[in-house]
Amino acid sequence: MFVDFSRVDTCYVVCGYTDLRKGIDGLSAIVSGKLALNLFESSVFLFCGRRPDRFKALWFDGEGFYLLYKRYDQGRLEWPRSTEEAQKLSPQQIEWLFHGFSIYQKIRPAKIGILT
């Protein structure tokens, strides 16, 4: 079964580094204990280790937990490393993350031509 991230109410990215050797119980402890978030709401929690070419996702579907692991053959994730918190992502930020872009896009103002 594949998680359709556009149908999940909330997607959290856990910033910083996470030990990807952890399984469902270890990652659940991070979410509920350290981050004080509800594991059983319609949310996906994303974790990344020191290598930015792989991540894990933890998701509760109402019956049980899924632990998803993805490793990219080429490319890498631009994972936020600066803090140890969880950030809620918008659907656009999820797309940027999975395509290897930063979730913090810089928007340049359009140049306005002067009519003479």
What pLDDT tens digit does each residue of the chain (116 aa) get?
566 666 778 889 898 889 999 999 999 999 999 889 999 988 899 999 888 888 999 999 888 999 999 888 887 777 777 777 888 888 888 888 777 777 777 665 555 555 54
Position 47 scores a pLDDT of 93
Domain count of the chain?
1
Position 113 scores a pLDDT of 55
For tokens 């103002």, name the residue: 109
In a domain, 113, yes or no: no
CA distances from 80 to 40, 68, 86 (A): 24, 20, 10
In a domain, 116, yes or no: no
Position 116 scores a pLDDT of 47
Contact 17, 47 (CB under 8 A): no
Provide the domain limits for residue 53: 5-98
